[in-house]
């Protein structure tokens, strides 16, 4: 007898419990999909928040170093805080959070933190203001109190014509001794840093009173120019190769064929025709870049204004990409700097040499030489 034929096939009964198992599997799959979507959206959201924050900071003229500082600040925020602080109506919350972060962090210089606050939160009108008195400071402005070779972050709580009430948050007690001479550092993106000299006169639980003595010193970021005339030597760069030789054939060995003579006669006929029609421009010599000596009208650590001397065409700036300008100030070093030449917008007879290869060392050296000679704030255009 066939064994398989004797097997009795019994099919399992469908129990109600199976519906519950299917339901649990469906719920698990649903939760898995939701969790994966949440994680993916969270990662995308984090990236988008930083991109938005970076775009805002870049629009406020923050440089790469300042963007790196902001990235560190951004990394320590929670997801909810990142979303809240990016809203335009929450700029004050962002400002307070950044201030608290800087108070706890010792990674950055205090002046760099002040500069960053000014770029991020200064209004468009105030952006271009210079600091000439306490009237030009605003309540809530972040500044740095400098004394004993240290700088510590603070902000302006109240002000009068010659006194400021500064916040004590973050200030060391030994920096708050009445009678201590100090300076207050503030910043404006358009003109740079300023040091307001004064004295700490009173302190209490709410703050410190800083008395301003009226003296303001510029510090960093600003550019100075010298109005005194300085002799300049300007030459095309790179210089023409003096070793380059022109190959000429020995005229005594030239072969005068009938064909050559015919061609020369045709050329002579065209020249005669142009001369009869007064088309003299075809015979003018083309301008070539050439070295010249002139005097500066204004000289700064970023460029030089000058006028072309007699005998030098003002059109030669179009024929050369780079120029080397050489000059020295009295009892100072000699500078050799490559520059681009261009006309100014205001005066047609003045041209600008804008430095292109002056590194920070050269620029600071030139800045100091100009400062020692009574340089004033730069205006080149």
Given 204, 219, 234, the domain boundary residue is 219
pLDDT the model gives residue 230 = 93
Sign of the alpha-carbon dihedral angle for 70, 75, 78, 84: positive
More confidently predicted of 262 and 122 = 122
- The Cα–Cα gap between 355 and 337 comes to 7
Residues 68, 200 within the same domain: no
Residue 358 pLDDT greater than 90, yes or no: no
b/e map 301-311, b = 16+ CB within 10 Å: bbbbbbebeee
296: in domain:
yes
Q: Comparing 277-286, 287-296, 322-331, which segment has the lowest mean pLDDT?
A: 277-286
Q: Does residue 278 have a pLDDT over 50? A: yes
- Please state, in angstroms and rounded to a whole number, the distance separating the CA atoms of residues 2 and 319: 107
Task: Tell me: do 211 and 237 sit in the same domain.
Answer: no
Say yes or no: 64 and 206 in one domain: no
- Given this model, what pLDDT does residue 381 score? 56
Same domain, 361 and 298: yes
What's the average model confidence in pLDDT over 51-61? 81
| Domain span holding position 89 | 49-108
pLDDT at position 279 is 56
Average pLDDT value for residue range 88-112: 83
Q: What was the pLDDT predicted at 258?
A: 47
Is the pLDDT reported for residue 283 higher than 50?
no
* Residue where a domain stops, chosen among 185, 219, 253: 219
Res. 6: pLDDT tops 70: no
- pLDDT score for 244: 47
Region 106-134: mean pLDDT is: 77
CA distance 212 to 197: 6
pLDDT at residue 170 in the model: 75
Does 220 have pLDDT greater than 70? no
pLDDT for 304: 92
Query: Looking at residue 234, what is its pLDDT?
Result: 94
Q: Tell whether the model's pLDDT for residue 193 goes beyond 50.
A: yes
Count of domains in the chain? 3
pLDDT exceeds cutoff 80 at 365: yes
In percent, the amount of the chain with pLDDT more than 70 equals 71
Average pLDDT, integer, range 9-26 = 64
Biggest alpha carbon–alpha carbon distance for the chain: 131
The pLDDT score that the predictor gives to residue 111 is 79
Residue 125 pLDDT: 59
Residue located via tokens 């303001």: 216
Taking residues 54-69, what's their average pLDDT? 83
Transcribe 252-312 into DSSP letters. GG----HHHHHHHHHHHHHHHHHHHTT-GGGGSPPP----EEEEEEEEESSEEEE-PPTTS
pLDDT of residue 236: 92
Q: How does the average pLDDT of the chain come out, rounded? A: 77
pLDDT at 199 over 70: yes
Report the Cα 275 to chain-centroid distance in Å: 56
* Domain co-membership, 226 together with 80: no
Among 219, 234, 266, give the residue marking a domain's end: 219
* 342 and 228 housed in the same domain: yes
pLDDT digits over 22-33, tens only?
A: 667 777 776 766
Q: In the block, which residue shows the tokens 């399992």?
A: 12
Q: Do 102 and 145 share a structural domain?
A: no
- When pLDDT is averaged across residues 212-217 and rounded to a whole number, the result is 88
CB 67 within 8 A of CB 54: yes
Any domain includes 208: yes
pLDDT of residue 296: 93
Please give the average per-residue pLDDT across 222-242, as a whole number: 81
**Same-domain pairing of 215 and 228:** no
Distance CA 144, CA 162 (A): 17
Say if residue 293's pLDDT is above 90. Answer: yes
Q: Where are the beta strands (DSSP E) in 102-149?
A: 142-147
Cβ 147 vs Cβ 180: under 8 Å = yes
| pLDDT over 70 (residue 171) | yes
Q: Would you say residue 260 has pLDDT above 60?
A: no
Q: Are residues 82 and 48 in contact, defined by beta-carbon separation less than 8 angstroms?
A: no
Does some domain include residue 13?
no
Q: Is residue 337 part of a domain?
A: yes
- pTM, rounded to two decimals: 0.48
pLDDT value of position 211: 93
Query: Is 64 part of a structural domain of the chain?
Result: yes
Distance from C-alpha of 216 to C-alpha of 194, rounded to nearest angstrom: 7
Residue 185 sits in the same domain as residue 82: no
CB-count exposure of residue 251 (10 Å: 0-12, 13-18, 19+): exposed
Phi-psi region of 37 (alpha: psi -120 to 50; beta: other; left: phi over 0): alpha
Taking the C-alpha atoms of residue 94 and residue 74, their distance in angstroms, rounded to an integer, is: 10
Angstrom CA distances, 204 to 17, 159, 200, stand at: 75, 16, 12
pLDDT above 60: residue 344: yes
**Does the pLDDT value for residue 310 go beyond 70?**
yes
Question: Would 344 be classed as within a structural domain?
Answer: yes
266 vs 374: which has the higher pLDDT = 374
With respect to residue 44, please indicate whether it lies within any of the assigned structural domains. Answer: no
Task: Choose the weakest-confidence range: 45-59, 68-82, 357-371.
Answer: 45-59
Same domain, 57 and 157: no
Residues 6+ apart with CB under 8 A from 343: 314, 317, 350, 351, 352
CATH number for the domain spanning 152: value is: 2.40.10.220
Confidence of residue 110 (pLDDT cuts 50, 70, 90): confident
**Whether residue 79 sits in one domain with residue 162:** no
- Tell me, yes or no, whether 6 lies in a domain: no
Looking at the fold, whether 231 and 341 belong to one and the same domain comes out as: yes
């Amino acid at each position: 007898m066939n064994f398989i034929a004797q097997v009795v096939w019994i099919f399992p009964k469908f129990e109600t419990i199976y519906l519950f198992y299917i339901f649990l599997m469906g719920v698990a799959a649903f939760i898995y999909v939701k969790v994966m979507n949440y994680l993916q959206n969270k990662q995308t959201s984090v990236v988008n928040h930083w991109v938005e924050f970076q775009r805002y900071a870049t629009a406020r003229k923050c440089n790469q170093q300042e963007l790196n500082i902001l990235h560190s600040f951004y990394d320590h925020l929670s997801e909810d805080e990142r979303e809240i602080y990016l809203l335009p109506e929450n700029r004050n919350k962002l400002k307070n959070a950044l201030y608290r972060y800087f108070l706890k962090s010792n990674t950055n210089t205090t002046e760099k933190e002040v500069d960053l606050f000014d770029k991020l939160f200064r209004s468009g009108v105030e952006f271009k203001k210079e600091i000439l008195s306490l009237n030009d400071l605003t309540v809530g402005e972040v500044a740095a109190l400098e004394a004993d070779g240290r700088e510590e972050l603070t902000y302006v709580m109240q002000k009068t014509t010659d006194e400021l009430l500064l916040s004590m948050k973050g200030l060391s007690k030994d920096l708050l001794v009445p009678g201590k001479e100090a300076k207050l550092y503030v910043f404006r993106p358009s003109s740079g840093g300023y040091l307001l000299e004064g004295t700490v006169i009173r302190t209490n639980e709410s703050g410190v009173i800083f008395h301003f003595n009226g003296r303001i010193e510029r510090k960093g970021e600003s550019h100075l120019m010298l109005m005194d005339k300085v002799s300049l030597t300007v030459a095309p760069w790179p210089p023409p190769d003096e070793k380059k030789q022109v190959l000429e054939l020995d005229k005594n060995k030239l072969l005068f064929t009938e064909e050559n003579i015919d061609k020369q006669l045709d050329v002579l006929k065209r020249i005669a025709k142009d001369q009869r029609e007064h088309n003299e421009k075809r015979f003018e010599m083309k301008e070539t870049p050439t070295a010249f000596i002139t005097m500066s009208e204004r000289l700064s650590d970023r460029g030089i204004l000058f006028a072309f001397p007699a005998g030098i065409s003002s059109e030669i700036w179009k024929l050369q990409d780079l120029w080397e300008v050489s000059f020295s100030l009295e009892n100072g070093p000699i500078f050799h700097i490559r520059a681009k030449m261009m006309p100014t917008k205001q005066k047609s007879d003045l041209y600008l040499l804008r430095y292109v290869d002056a590194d920070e060392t050269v620029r600071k050296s030139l800045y100091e030489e100009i400062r020692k000679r009574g340089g004033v704030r730069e205006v080149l255009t």
